């Protein structure tokens, strides 16, 4: 068994995410953690990727973007933590990048990337 199982920016492309998450829990030891990060559908980044999905041949035409609540709901129990990051929107100017830009855009909407952490009991 492993101490942790981690998935970053993959769950939006998995056909049966519930099964993938179940397998992650199976291989993690009791006391270990499962961490999944994905693009937040309810963010400017999610909107950008949803628009990109309309283009023929786009990898995002195969994506199923989720909200933090939907991702958290895939787990067998309530997660230990649910967080967001990447508040600077796509197309932001160079002067908006960095901690100050993140703080400025934090109040404007959801983070472009979400992650959920479960602890296996």
pLDDT beyond 80 at 94: yes
* Runs of H (alpha helix) within the chain: 17-27, 44-52, 68-73, 99-106
Helices (H) and strands (E) in the chain, counts: 4, 4
Domain holding 24, by residue range, is 2-119
Least Cα distance to 47 among 35, 60, 34, 62 occurs for: 60
- Is residue 100's pLDDT more than 90? no
Closest CA to 89 of 49, 36, 35: 49
Dihedral sign for Cα atoms in the order 8, 41, 81, 77: negative
Counting the structural domains of the chain, the total is: 1
What CATH number should be reported for the domain holding residue 91?
3.40.50.150
Give the pLDDT confidence score for residue 64 in this predicted structure.
Answer: 97
pLDDT tens digits, 44-78: 999 999 999 999 999 999 999 999 999 999 999 99
């Amino acid at each position: 068994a492993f101490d942790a199982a981690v998935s970053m920016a993959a769950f939006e492309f998995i056909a049966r995410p519930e099964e993938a998450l179940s397998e992650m829990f199976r291989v993690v030891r009791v006391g270990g953690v499962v961490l999944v990060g994905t693009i937040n559908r309810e963010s400017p980044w999610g909107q950008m990727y949803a628009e990109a999905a309309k283009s023929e041949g786009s990898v995002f035409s195969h994506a199923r973007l989720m909200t933090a609540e939907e991702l958290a709901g895939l787990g067998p129990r309530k997660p230990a933590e649910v967080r967001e990051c990447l508040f600077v929107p796509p197309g932001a100017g160079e002067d908006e990048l960095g901690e100050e830009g993140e703080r400025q855009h934090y109040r404007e909407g959801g983070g472009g990337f979400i992650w959920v952490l479960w602890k296996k009991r």
